[in-house]
Every structure is written in structure tokens, then in C-alpha cells.
Amino acid sequence: MAKRDAVVDVALLEHCLRDDLNRRAQRVMGVLNPIKLVIENYPENEIEEFDIPNNPEDPSMGTRKTPFSRELYIERDDFMEEPSKKFFRLSPGREVRLRAAYFVTCTGVVKDDSGNVIEVRCTHDPASKGGDSPDGRKVRGTLHWVSARHAIKAEIRLYDRLFLKENPYETEEGDDFMSNINPDSLKVVCGFVEPFVKDAKHGDTFQFERLGYFCVDPDSSGDMLVFNRTVGLKDSWAKIAAR
């Protein structure tokens, strides 16, 4: 393979993708590394629907109805049993907002025989319906979620940069560009998405809130949706380079 003098500025390419998709991609909630959250004071058989904007950048895209129930999935990274000082999400005794739904306070956890947290227990404040409290109190964390009863299981392919360097031909003597292959350029996880996407077709694009932009892969079927990550919400590589 001939060495090329021109190198694509990947950061600029990703910036342009975010700018374009931010304006036109449908917002949905998806959980890629799930842990169950149980709201102890929420009725077991009750189901509510919350109207959530499809794209805050374009009000003409309307809203969608998202089901809410006693048992939810949240991101495992959004809970920490022994939080650090800069962790503002869910932990024992702390109150956070569930996106467009309620304030919840963690009351405890359920662990397996090895001591791993497998379930988070909370109570909700019914007066905070819609995601705001009438007494004006504030919370620092807002979490996305998916109702466990209504969740759609999906295969999520987390594509990242193929090379560890902007110019993969910058190598040590005796190496070639293959030495700069990123071993984490693809990770495949099983996650959950809200039922709004159950009829998504190949090529449809979405922003999974707080996670990134995704498109439907041709491998999707009625039995299993498959989403490919197009780009994250932020340039995480800039932080890596800064270190």
C-alpha cells in the first residue's frame, strides 16, 4: 500500500457528523450496560407515558410517548455504591432526576453471592412528575432510562477509531501501519432501547441520549435490532491525546 501524504482530520470529520446529526437525528433512550432500578413506592402494575421531545433542535419533529413503570434499566455507570467527590449521579441516599419522569432517591441495593450489585432500589417523589419539583429543589444528576417491561433488546456495535494515531503511518522503525491498529475499534454489547424504535429500518439514525449517534445496521431483523455507533457525543480522543 502506497503511503499517502494527505491525512484526513478525523476530529474535524467527527465534528461535522455531530453538527449534522444533532440537527436531524431522532432522540431516543437506550441503555448499553444495564442494571435494574426498582422504584419501591411506585405501584407494581401501573404504567405511565411521558411525552418527550423528539429533537430539541427542531420542535417540528414533535414528541413521542415513552412508557414508564416500576422497574427500569439504567446505565451501570450511573450508579456508584461508594461515590467519589465528583460523581453526581445515583448513589445511596442521593436524589437524581430520571429524564422527563421523576426525582428518585436511592434507598439500597441487592447483591449477588459474590457481592456484586445486581439491582438498585429507590423511592420516587410523586410531586416531581415530569422531572421538576414544585418546591424548587435542584438535583445535579439526570439519568436516561428504559422501562424494563417495555424494553426492546438490541445488539449495539460500538465502532471507534480504527487507528491509535491520526496518521497511522507514523511508526517506530521496523513497524508498519498495522502496529497502530486500535484493539478497541469495535465492541459489541447487548443493550435495551425504548419501544419507539421497534419498527426502525436500515439506515434510520438516532441519538441515544447521553451516549452518541447510532444508525440501524442491515443485519437488523424482527428478532433483533442491530445499531452501529456512528460517533460519540463528545471527542473523547482529544482527552486521550491531552494526557
**Considering the entire predicted model, what is its pTM?**
0.87
CATH number, span 32-147:
2.40.240.10
Task: For 196-240, write each residue's pLDDT tens digit.
Answer: 999 999 999 999 999 999 999 999 998 999 999 999 998 654 555
Q: Give pLDDT < 50 ranges for the chain.
A: 1-2, 237
- At residue 169, the pLDDT reads 61
Nearest by Cα to 17 from 6, 8, 30, 5: 8
Range list for CATH 2.40.240.10 in the chain = 10-26+152-242, 32-147
Residue 163: the pLDDT is 78
Cβ neighbours of residue 119 closer than 8 Å, sequence gap 6 or more: 35, 36, 37, 38, 109, 110
| pLDDT in the model for residue 6 | 56
HEC string for the chain: CCCCCCCCCHHHHHHHHHHHHHHHCEEECEECCEEEEEECCCCCCCCEEEEEECCCCCHHHCEEEEEECCEEEEEHHHECCCCCCCCCCECCCCEEEECCCCEEEEEEEEECCCCCEEEEEEEEEHHHCCCCCCCCCCCCCEECCEECCCCEEEEEEEECCCECCCCCCCCCCCCCHHHHECCCCEEEEEEEECHHHCCCCCCCEEEECCCEEEEECCCCCCCCEEEEEEEECCCHHHHHHHC
10-26+152-242 is classed CATH 2.40.240.10: yes
